[in-house]
Amino acid sequence: MAFNIITAEEAAQFIHHNDNVGFSGFTAAGTPKVVPVALAQRAEAEHAAGRPFQIGVYTGASTSDYVDGALTRAKAIKSRTPYQSHKDTRAAVNANEIAYFDMHLSHLAQSLRYGFLGKINVAIIEATEVTPEGEILLGNGVGATPTFCALADKIIIELNHHDPKELRGMHDIYQPLDPPYRREIPIYKPSDRIGSPIVKVDPKKIVGIVESDKLDGVKPFTPADETTMKIGQNVCDFLVSQLKAGLIPPQFLPIQSGVGNIANAVLGSLGSNPDIPAFEMYTEVIQDAVIDLMKEGKCKFASCCSMTISDEKQKEVFGNIRFFHDKVIMRPGEISNNPEIVRRLGLITMNTALEADIFGNVNSTHVTGTKMMNGIGGSADFTRNAYLSIFTCPSVAKGGKISAIVPMVSHVDHSEHSVQVLITEQGVADLRGKSPIQRAHTIIENCVHPMYKQLLWDYLKLGKGHTPHNLKAAFGFHNEFLKSGDMALTNWADYV
398 binds ligand 0RQ, rule: CB under 6 A: yes
Q: How far is residue 232 CA from its own chain's centroid?
A: 19
378 binds ligand 0RQ, rule: CB under 6 A: yes
Minimum distance from residue 373 beta carbon to ligand 0RQ (Å): 5
Q: Determine which residue in the list 260, 360, 436, 476 makes contact with ligand 0RQ, applying CB under 6 A.
A: 260
Helical H segments across 350-484, by residue range = 379-383, 436-446, 450-460, 476-484
Binding segment (CB under 6 A) for ligand 0RQ, from list 28-36, 252-260, 453-461, 484-492:
252-260
HSE, side-chain direction, 13 A CA sphere, residue 330: 31
List of residues 6+ apart from 461 with CB closer than 8 A: none
Task: Choose among 126, 148, 147: nearest CA to 136.
Answer: 126
Minimum distance from residue 3 beta carbon to ligand 0RQ (Å): 32
List beta partners, residue 129.
137
List of residues 6+ apart from 485 with CB closer than 8 A: 401
Q: What angle (nearest 5°) sits at the alpha carbon of residue 100, between those of residues 47 and 13?
A: 35
List of residues 6+ apart from 174 with CB closer than 8 A: 185, 194, 195, 196, 331, 332, 335
- The one catalytic residue in 126, 158, 280, 284 is 284
Q: Determine which residue in the list 278, 373, 451, 488 makes contact with ligand 0RQ, applying CB under 6 A.
A: 373
262 binds ligand 0RQ, rule: CB under 6 A: yes
Compose the 2-41 pattern: x for residues touching ligand 0RQ by CB under 6 A, - for all others. Answer: -------------------------x--------------
HSE, side-chain direction, 13 A CA sphere, residue 462: 21
Minimum distance from residue 237 beta carbon to ligand 0RQ (Å): 20
Task: Choose among 134, 59, 131: nearest CA to 332.
Answer: 59
Closer to ligand 0RQ at the Cβ: 352 or 361? Answer: 352
Q: Determine which residue in the list 83, 221, 452, 475 makes contact with ligand 0RQ, applying CB under 6 A.
A: 83
Span 283-302, contacts to ligand 0RQ by CB under 6 A: 284-285
**b/e burial code for range 103-134 (CB count within 10 A of at least 16 → b):** bbbbbbbbbbbeeebeebbbbbbbbbbbeeeb
424 binds ligand 0RQ, rule: CB under 6 A: no
Q: Is 52 exposed, middle or buried (0-12, 13-18, 19+ CB in 10 A)?
A: exposed
Decide if 308 contacts 28 (C-beta within 8 A): yes
Binding segment (CB under 6 A) for ligand 0RQ, from list 3-11, 154-162, 260-268, 313-321:
260-268
Cα separations in angstroms, 391 against 233, 242, 381, 494: 14, 16, 14, 32
Residue 101 DSSP label? -
425 binds ligand 0RQ, rule: CB under 6 A: no
Q: Determine which residue in the list 25, 141, 232, 394 makes contact with ligand 0RQ, applying CB under 6 A.
A: 394
374 binds ligand 0RQ, rule: CB under 6 A: yes
Closer to ligand 0RQ at the Cβ: 243 or 376? Answer: 376
Q: Determine which residue in the list 32, 208, 254, 258 makes contact with ligand 0RQ, applying CB under 6 A.
A: 258
Respond yes or no: is residue 480 known to be catalytic: no
Span 426-445, contacts to ligand 0RQ by CB under 6 A: none
DSSP H or E segment with residue 111: helix 108-114
The residue count for binding ligand 0RQ (CB under 6 A) is 28
377 binds ligand 0RQ, rule: CB under 6 A: yes
208 binds ligand 0RQ, rule: CB under 6 A: no
Binding segment (CB under 6 A) for ligand 0RQ, from list 5-13, 89-97, 203-211, 396-404:
396-404
List beta partners, residue 143.
332
Binding segment (CB under 6 A) for ligand 0RQ, from list 17-25, 213-221, 258-266, 273-281:
258-266
Span 53-72, contacts to ligand 0RQ by CB under 6 A: 61
338 binds ligand 0RQ, rule: CB under 6 A: no
Beta strand segments in 179-325, E:
199-200, 206-212, 255-257, 279-282, 285-286, 299-304, 306-307
Residue 186 DSSP label? -
Q: What angle (nearest 5°) sits at the alpha carbon of residue 360, between those of residues 355 and 366?
A: 30
Residue 89 DSSP label? H
Per the annotation, binding residues for CoA are: 374, 378, 398
351 binds ligand 0RQ, rule: CB under 6 A: yes
Residue type, 423: I
Closer to ligand 0RQ at the Cβ: 21 or 61? Answer: 61
Minimum distance from residue 264 beta carbon to ligand 0RQ (Å): 9
Distance between CA 418 and CA 388 in Å, rounded? Answer: 9
Binding segment (CB under 6 A) for ligand 0RQ, from list 232-240, 397-405, 448-456, 471-479:
397-405
Span 267-286, contacts to ligand 0RQ by CB under 6 A: 284-285
Indicate which residues carry an active-site annotation. Answer: 284
The site for ligand 0RQ (CB under 6 A) is made up of 27, 61, 83, 105, 258-262, 284-285, 351-352, 354-355, 364, 367, 373-374, 376-379, 394, 397-398, 402, 404
